[in-house]
Structure 1
């Protein structure tokens, strides 16, 4: 078991060495992969895991479908999951354990999207890929071959994935059962929290957001809701939302603000705040044990709205899904 201090020292050393140099983006990918392998528990076993491509107008989009034991043989509810990584790094592999825990805990399919990343593919490549997969699922193209019911879809993701999930939930609000926003990046105009605290002194968040602005936004209008879904004014009719924020996260205020805005517009919101957790903790469950239990909370929430049937308690699921 690793201590939070060991994890922080290891992460800080690698972070400072890389300094977000675009020429070292593959080193960033490799370092994050090693970090997740070192500091995360593997997820539960699945009945089946399928890799395939969803056809798109400009390119095909790789996806991975997780089918848990006990999932219905007929087409059923599916969560489309968009991984985090600041639009520049991470992948299906780095976020596999999160998807596995949600799939197993909710006993439903999870379709993880391997969208294109900046700086090689700046905005709007990533959102286009994610929307391509959502439209493909809504069209019913995945029903017969993969058991993806187009009438029982939800969307979610963490960080950058939460950003794109929030926008797609706005655009396709009448077609989705739920949205899962895990420490979401909700706007790309301001790089610092409105009330900086001691947790912001190292300015990791500022440096990361500056890099995102330079290499992902890349001159686009950051006030557009596809980049900054926080700025959407019409929130009525959005699908029920689960919003997670962390006290040691520079994105904590914007996630809370969006949850409050949705509630004020009549959206069903479950807001969960982890005061002592940092951004990205779900990928590092060996250091932060709540990285194994929060996905079960997510699973209970999404199953409630995807199936509209009674669900197991968190305690019951914890014995099965971790």
Structure 2
């Protein structure tokens, strides 16, 4: 079972609380999809419905054209936000047990344990109880548990929580490797700089609804580009009425313009600025994903 992960029209209600409303998106093979939102926005609910832990009131989850059933869910690698490991069980024994639950024989499970504990930097801890590990190493073991059966889809809820920068790099590399193998990867995270750097596409969810969805660069530029011009006098309001300038904030020595790149002519804007006096700085910037997130959620 391989193909695109499709979340199609999920609705979920708890009494008067609408947890999800028409939640729809897809994750293509080989794509890393960032699923972001405030606490309580509906991210974990969506992921649990994908896993079959929760049932949607309506809508469905498919892999390709096939609705995901019990057997299909065994091909999903899932990493929950809350650590789901047995604290008094040894790391190696636990991973081998989980691999056998997914249908592996003892020898194949042992090979998978050795491979993933080595890859994730916890090979020397295989004989330690999970509860004796640091939180960061527990997180590495939790990822190994999601990967142990060579899943066809990866669904990870806050996988980078509690990791040091080296461990973040290791986990990022693993996710990119799995995507390069053609596996759809979806993960949630509050570390938006990491999402911006790692993901192909992003969905921003608020109050159970998808509020923004698309490629990271497309989302960042959808509200226009900011142009900072240092030098012209604010009193002249020199940028008013220029084509493509959608907003202007005049400071004492710096003017910030919001421009539509498809319409605005930066050379014409520069010429207008120079007519008022010397220009010391003329630079564009695109909103970060963090700034976009604040804008979407507050709206």
Higher helix share: 1
Give me the TM-score of the superposition, normalised by structure 1. 0.29
Q: Comparing both chains, which one has the higher relative contact order based on Cα–Cα distances under 8 Å and sequence gaps of 6 or more?
A: 2
Give me the TM-score of the superposition, normalised by structure 2. 0.30
Larger Rg: 2
